[in-house]
Amino acid sequence: MRASLGYIKAILLIALVAFLFGFAEKRQKSRKISEVAVKFTDTENLYVTEEAVNKLLIQNKVPSSGIGKETLDLNRVEGLLNKHEMIENAEVYVTLDGKLEANVSQRKPIGRVVGNSSFYLDRNGELMPLSQYYSARVPLLMGFDGGNVKEVYPLLEYIRKDEFLTQHITGITRVKPGRFNLQMRKMDFTVYMGDAENIELKFNNFKAFYKKALKDDKLGAYRKVNLQFGNQVVCTKK
């Protein structure tokens, strides 16, 4: 008899816990969204602002408050944000206190096409429009358009990851299909890169040349530095 009474108490306790859990979950889902908070993973150089993101949500009828958690479609909200031309990735969730939070990663430009049309090439090799909020300090790309700009992506990606090259290279000109000139900051010579093959070898050779010419105070003696041969640097004097 005592054993049966113990089983009954255990069953009642389990039922009570399940009831309380279900009640709490239902109450949590029925709580209203109190506000929307947008957080950028990179707070420097905002190509899209929190106001612009909120405006996008409002235009697509995503309420900033007063909607139940149960009726909010988080996948739809994420989809809206990920379609924005300046956003690379967005993760949306609801906090325990009823706040809708969006963690937003912006797209990162690595080069800017100038000419008849102007736009960025981003770090994923995709075309990216200019931003009305911020202008990125990236190499200027001359002689390119939407149809051929991806030719220069491997070169830009290498430059982006190298502190020395990022500091000194200000522009890239397409002299013919797959062949490029580099414009250097505060240097009175053009660097002919040739194609985008053997990039590491060519730039290592250039760094060695630059270090030696700087030491000998001869950087101003050249009008062209040719890297196309890969295993050597050929310089043309003024």
Same domain, 186 and 203: yes
125 and 227 fall within a common domain: yes
DSSP-based three-state secondary structure for 230: coil
Work out whether strand 109-113 and strand 127-128 pair parallel, antiparallel, or are unpaired.
Answer: unpaired
C-beta separation of 184 from 170 below 8 A: yes
80 contacts 73 by C-beta, under 8 angstroms: no
Tally of structural domains, the chain: 2
CATH number reported for the structural domain that contains residue 231 in this entry: 3.40.50
The tokens 């979950």 sit on which residue?
A: 25
Give the amino acid at 187: M
Domain membership flag for residue 2: no
Are residues 193 and 210 both part of a single domain? yes
Judgement on whether residues 100 and 163 belong to the same structural domain of the protein: no
Residues 113 and 204 in one domain: yes
SS3 140: strand
**pLDDT, greater one: 184 or 41:** 184
What pLDDT is attached to residue 33? 53
Answer yes or no: is 12 within a domain: no
Identify whether residues 156 and 90 lie together within a single domain. no
Q: Give the rounded distance of the alpha carbon of 59 from its chain centre.
A: 24
Residues 78, 177, single domain; the answer is no
Last residue of a domain, one of 106, 125, 151: 106
Residue 89 has pLDDT above 70, yes or no: yes
User: Is 173's pLDDT higher than 90?
Assistant: yes
Q: What percent of the chain has pLDDT over 70?
A: 79
Which of 51, 104, 94 has the alpha carbon at shortest distance from 69?
Answer: 94
Same domain, 119 and 96: no
Measured CA angle at 86 (ends 32, 159), to 5 deg: 140
- The single-letter DSSP state of residue 68 is B
Domain shared by 231 and 113, yes or no: yes
Q: Give bridge partners of residue 183 from the DSSP assignment.
A: 171, 190
Instruction: Please report which confidence band the pLDDT of residue 26 belongs to, taking 50, 70 and 90 as the band edges.
Output: very low
Q: Does residue 122 share a domain with residue 60?
A: no
pLDDT band with cut points at 50, 70 and 90 for residue 208: very high
Structural domain range at position 177: 109-237
Higher pLDDT pick, 66 / 198 = 198
Q: Please report which confidence band the pLDDT of residue 24 belongs to, taking 50, 70 and 90 as the band edges.
A: very low
**CATH number, domain with residue 91:** 3.10.20.310
Please report the beta strands in 10-117, taking only residues with DSSP state E, as ranges in sequence order.
35-40, 87-94, 99-106, 109-113
Res 55: pLDDT: 79
Query: Is residue 26 in a domain?
Result: no
* C-beta separation of 122 from 109 below 8 A: yes
More confident residue, 218 or 9: 218
Q: How many CA atoms lie within 13 A of 10 on its CB side?
A: 6
Residues 118 and 232 in one domain: yes
Global pTM reads 0.78
Does the residue 8 lie in any domain? no
**Residue 229 confidence (pLDDT):** 87
Local confidence band at 62 (pLDDT 50, 70, 90 cut-offs): low
58 versus 205: which is more confidently predicted?
205
Three-class DSSP category at 153: helix
- Select the more confidently predicted residue: 31 or 39: 39
Q: Quickly state the pLDDT bin for 97 (edges 50, 70, 90).
A: confident
Instruction: Say what the pLDDT of residue 41 is.
Output: 85
Do 134 and 228 share a domain, yes or no? yes
pLDDT at 4: 58
